[in-house]
Amino acid sequence: MAGKHVVIIFAFLCMQTVLLAQSGMNTLVVHADGGKDTISRFIYGQFAEHLGHGIYGGVWVGEDSPIPNTRGIRNDVVAALKKIRVSAVRWPGGCFADEYHWGAGIGPRANRPKMVNTNWGGVTEDNSFGTHEFMDLCEQLGCEPVICGNIGSGTVKEMSDWVQYLTSDGDNPMTELRKKNGREKPWKVKFWCVGNETWGCGGIMSADHYANELGRYSYFLKNYSGTPLYKISSGGLQEDYAWTETIMKKWKNTDAWLQGYMSGYSLHYYTVPDWNKKGTATDFAEKDWFATLSSTLKMDELIRRHAAIMDAYDAQRRIGLIVDEWGNWFDVEPGTNPGFLYQQNTLRDAMVAAVNLNLFHKHCDRVKMANIAQMVNVLQAMILTKGPEIVLTPTYYVFKMYSVHQDAALLPMELQSESYTNGKDSIPTLSVSASKDREGRIHISLANLHPTKGENLRCELKGTTSARVSGEIITAATMNAYNDFGKPEAVNIKPFKGAQLRNGVLTVSLPAKSIVTLEVN
């Protein structure tokens, strides 16, 4: 009889395994006691370029505007951005940075010279939003400024003077000029990009030429008033691994990062399945949804391959990989200026944001900052504005939901995911990240990339006795749902009740095209 019982039990277990496989169950193991790397809050950085209405109308309306403002900066935009805990803002570009001369953007606004923004629409830039206004914005947000210096059309002296103007409290001409313009005390500006896309709009340089320029500029960017600079090298094109090798090899030979020549290395990657036919932001089919998500997952390969080269020269990982431009890039909205890059923002954008943030978490031992393009009214924006109105986009709500991961410990995990197949291609159905904050709360973020099929997940939590789970969800009725002016929000954060925790095991029922964050404590 005992042997018969063993056979029956074995058959039952086999049947359960088959049923589990047929049900599409995904499995996850989270090691709640194993975190050693920190997810830097600077991964949640923003990018604000003088492009379209990203600055003018988006952030800056001027002190005489009927739109409520503080010293010309929109109150509603600042209030919304503070709710997602913006950690850093990169400015003034982008390509605009390499035609921007900071001295034209200081002093009385009526006396500031105008210029033509040749990169973005050929419009007149009046320089009313300059260094002091940008630093005021950062102070209102409580975030770190990231300044991109002009090495394309500028000079070493111009950039070194900018550093001195902002950060020095000594007896020198730039300190006196800053005081004359109304700022007595210096600011602390740590992050400086030594050029932008120097392979293209930043000067059309070769890697060897830029490596020498990086050294020349970095040498003259001095530390003042207890503010050590974090200097970020320009990277090459997204798959230009030779550029990465050239920069790392050049400066490894002199151990220059120990001298402060380079602290970070830039990577730019936009999610664009086909640059010849980017498609609209809102009118798309499932094949376009799949192509976009498949394209954005390439970020994982790019980070791994660039990081592997960096590891060969910097095994201690002292140099941060800085993904300071990323996000979706679609065709502009009909009837808008093609040079302004204004696009709507749907649930698909939210999914792209979740996937990328999960990847940055995964590689947080090397990725130390990321800046989504862009903060307001441009590309994959957090906020859209129209006169006095604002719209909070689906991407905004992902950043708000995911803010719990800032400066938390990344938790090791093993994920076995079902596949999402479209035509001949497949990608993992689930994208996942987990962290533990300083209060000991565990947060698990889950994205179900499948637009029509719900997924079940069994998650084993190891190294914790936590017994409670709560959650939030972002989803919508359609995959192209978006928030628009004058209409109720179609995409927002709502309570999630589809998770249960028993004896250290989470069971989660994820709706199709959903993003969920669970809190376990």
User: Three-state SS string across 324-367, please?
Assistant: EEEEECCCCCCCCCHHHCCCCCEHHHHHHHHHHHHHHHHCCCCE
Output 182-185 pairs: Cβ under 8 A, ≥24 positions apart.
Answer: 182/132, 183/132, 183/135
Look at residue 5 in the predicted model and tell me its pLDDT: 43
CA separation for the pair 359, 297 (Å, rounded):
8
Return the beta strands (E) in 449-504 as ranges.
455-462, 469-474, 493-495, 499-502
- Please confirm, yes or no, whether 325 is among the known catalytic residues: yes
What is the assigned CATH class of domain 24-36+411-520? mainly beta
pLDDT at 3: 47
Sketch the domain layout of the chain as residue ranges: 24-36+411-520, 41-406
In 3D space, the residue among 415, 385, 383, 379 whose CA is nearest the CA of residue 397 turns out to be: 383
What is the greatest pairwise CA distance in the chain? 98
Cα torsion at 289, 296, 471, 142 (round to 10°)? -130
- Tokens found for residue 480: 């192209």
And the tokens for 221? 């960017």
Torsions phi, psi of 157, nearest 5?
Answer: -60, -40
| Residue 387 CA: distances (Å) to CA of 124, 133, 365, 377 | 20, 20, 42, 12
Residues in CB range of 18: below 8 A, 6 or more apart? none
Report the alpha-carbon distance of residue 31 to residue 122 in Å, rounded.
53
Of residues 325, 418, 455, 472, which has the active-site annotation? Answer: 325
- Whole-number Å distance between alpha carbons of 88 and 370: 9
Q: What is the pLDDT of residue 499?
A: 97
How confident is the model at residue 212, as a pLDDT?
93
197 tagged catalytic: yes
Cα 167 to Cα 155: distance, rounded to the nearest angstrom: 19
Q: Which residues does 385 contact at the CB level (< 8 Å), separation at least 6?
A: 53, 57, 58, 74, 77, 376, 377, 391
| Residues of the chain with confidence (pLDDT) below 50 | 1-23
Q: How do residues 354-401 score in pLDDT, each as one tens digit?
A: 999 999 999 999 999 999 999 999 999 999 999 999 999 999 999 999
The rounded distance, in Å, linking the Cα atoms of 426 and 93 is 36
Interval 214-248: pLDDT, tens: 999 999 999 998 889 999 999 999 999 999 999 99
Distance CA 127, CA 87 (A): 25
Query: Domain 41-406 is classified in which CATH homologous superfamily?
Result: Glycosidases (3.20.20.80)
Characterize the bridge pairing of strands 493-495 and 25-31: unpaired
The torsion angles phi and psi of 357, rounded to 5 degrees, stand at -60, -40
In whole angstroms, give the CA distance from residue 481 to residue 347: 6
**Distance between CA atoms of 354 and 357, rounded to whole angstroms?**
5
**Which one is catalytic: 133, 144, 197, 418?**
197
- How many CB atoms are closer than 10 A to CB 127? 22
First to last CA, the chain: 46
- How, if at all, do strands 425-428 and 493-495 pair? unpaired
